[in-house]
Amino acid sequence: MAEFTMELSDEQKEVRDWLHGFAADVIRPAAAEWDEREETPWPVIQEAAKVGIYSLDFYAQQYFDPTGLGIPMAMEELFWGDAGIALSIVGTGLAAVGVLANGTEEQIGTWIPQMYGDASDVKVAAFCSSEPDAGSDVASMRTRAVYDEAKDEWVLNGTKTWATNGGIANVHVVVAVVDPDLGSKGHASFIVPPNTPGLSQGQKFKKHGIRASHTAEVVLDGVRVPGSCLLGGKEKLDARLARAREKAKKGGERVKNAAMATFEASRPAVGAMAVGTARAAYEVALEYARTREQFGRPIIDNQGVAFQLADMRTSIDAARLLVWRASWMAINGKPFTAAEGSMSKLFASETAKKVTGQAIQILGGNGYTREYPVERMHRDSAIYTIFEGTSEIQRLVIARTLAGMPIR
């Protein structure tokens, strides 16, 4: 087990500086254009693939960093560049986490490479969990998966929404109900291979922020996938469902479902994204305050501005520490006894919204225009308190954990 430390190793610092350089030289110059276009920035993703950032190998190296800091460090630097483009680069990772968390070794080796493609032909993947009537309330999920034993196939029907890369992905990971009587405990995750009949893109959403990231509905109409596409395999699913039914009879509820396992593993990473956006806005505001003069002196000399910057920096550092702690705990198998993963996501996402708003205030009228990036950063930051569990859901998870109640 790696000891918790706030000091990055020389190797980690090299990776951080490399990522920062890519974010500064490639992502930032393209940010405003792709935000306006509201399209997937394929050229930037391809550049990321060419240098090795958008790849299975890079993701695996960071994911299995024994300190747990590889992923949050990478997320912070990329999202410092631009949230919309960065999400297009890392969005495949959520689907990859779904396979890593629930799949067999064979499934991991087969499907994750197909999620990324290669530098000459980049691919993306999508994780499909939310539905029009089932976002935070995963127990209300309606997408069904029915097993056709004669053909050893699963048949999927339903509509997913808010899917990053939904419809344009090479590989979709879909969470569906296999036993409606068990509520959220009766869910399973499935791989939908490329070009599978019956899967189509529904509405593509025009969003307030992260507009360079593709978000759409995914419609599943009689989608048939081989039995081997059930993540974890049928034997493992049958055993899990049997335990859930037995616990239900006894009044027990502490059974983890596939979607919750994926979100649990990814929440500190979302917190790191928020830290990156907050830090970017803070740095713009700090530089502006040092150079902008009013009444014959830089505005940072005014206590009202200086105190805001002090609070912004303090909140950013506190958010990073919560993210790093949760990430270290996760990689070292430390249980989140106080919902530390949700804590990190909650505090960091709220910090991003507040800090980007303060940055606009410090820049005044300039901050409200698209001539300065803090306007875009503020729009982008709004998503952090919503996706992968709203701030209200994070507080609910934390409160129920502290009270010793089961998380549903």
Give residue 97's pLDDT. Answer: 84
pLDDT at residue 225 tops 50: yes
DSSP sequence for 241-271: HHHHHHHHHHT------HHHHHHHHHHHHHH
Helix (H) or strand (E) holding 354: helix 340-363
Neighbours of 399 (CB within 10 A): 12
pLDDT score of 336 = 87
Q: Work out the pLDDT band at 306, boundaries 50, 70, 90.
A: very high
Q: What's the N-to-C CA distance of the chain in angstroms?
A: 30
Structure-model confidence comparison of residues 264 and 159, the more confident one: 159
Give the residue numbers marked as catalytic. 388
Dihedral angle of Cα 187, 190, 195, 198, to the nearest 10 degrees: -20
Higher pLDDT, 254 or 269: 269
Tracing tokens 């990859």 back to the chain, one arrives at 96
Identify the residue with better confidence: 96 or 348.
348
**What mean pLDDT is predicted for residues 382-405?**
92
The token pair that represents 3 in the structure block: 């000891």
Strands 171-177 and 125-128: parallel
CA 133/CA 353 separation, integer angstroms: 26
- What would you report as the CA-atom Rg of the chain, rounded to the nearest whole angstrom? 22
The pLDDT assigned to 68 comes to 93
Beta bridge partners of 131: 134
pLDDT given at position 269 = 92
Residue 254 has pLDDT above 70, yes or no: no
Q: Is 249 exposed, middle or buried (0-12, 13-18, 19+ CB in 10 A)?
A: exposed
Instruction: Dump pLDDT digits (tens) for 7-55.
Output: 899 999 999 999 999 999 999 999 999 999 999 999 999 999 999 999 8
Burial label, 205 (beta-carbon count in 10 A; 0-12, 13-18, 19+): middle
Task: Please choose, from the candidates 254, 226, 220, the residue with its C-alpha nearest in 3D space to the C-alpha of residue 240.
Answer: 254
- Which residues on neighbouring strands pair with residue 148, listed in sequence order? 153
Question: Within its chain, how far is the Cα of 22 from the centroid?
Answer: 20
Answer positive or negative: Cα dihedral of 359, 360, 362, 367: positive
CB-CB contact of 156 with 220 (8 Å): yes
